[in-house]
Amino acid sequence: MSCCICKSHSDSHEDITFHTIPRSEELRAKWIAVIGRNVPNYSKVCSDHFKPNFFQYKINRKLNKIQRHLIEGAIPTEKFQEFQDLHGARKRKRSADEAITCNKVRTVKFIGDLCPEDLTSPECYEVVKKYLKKHNIRVNSLQKQVGRLIKSRKP
């Protein structure tokens, strides 16, 4: 998978997420206008082209991950100038002093794995922290229950 603006690849940076161009005609037209050319329906834009406040974070309970999604109505606005002439390029080049402002999507196993910088707001951090605390209490309770059941089966 690669970005239709800068040609960044999904395997080149693990902290970059890719977002499909919207299906809504109105929002799609805005994205195409910003991109500056027509792109196929399946095209993706990487997270480098969105402001940090355009993201929301959701917990995927099945995968035990915090995932980054675009807020409704988000339009790419960042880092277009440096890629204007690179439409045919294979990979984009980053300057040495360029800061990466994206947050990583990580697997969360322990509350200690989280820090406020991983999320967009302290409120979001607290929600995730409460969820994980409740989840860990439930896991511990189930582990104790399994232990009791195993002991009760022994002759």
Task: Return the higher-pLDDT residue of 116 and 131.
Answer: 131
User: Is residue 143 very low, low, confident or very high in pLDDT (cuts 50, 70, 90)?
Assistant: very high
Residue 153, exposed/middle/buried by CB under 10 A (0-12, 13-18, 19+)?
A: exposed
How is the chain split into domains, by residue range?
1-77, 114-154
Of 100, 49, 102, 115, nearest to 77 by C-alpha is 49
What pLDDT was estimated at residue 144?
93
Both tokens of 99, joined, read: 């800061």
| Rounded CA separation 33/91 (Å) | 23
Which among 78-87, 96-105, 122-131 has the top mean pLDDT? 122-131
User: Is residue 85 very low, low, confident or very high in pLDDT (cuts 50, 70, 90)?
Assistant: very low
pLDDT per residue over 38-59, tens digit each?
A: 888 888 888 888 888 888 888 8
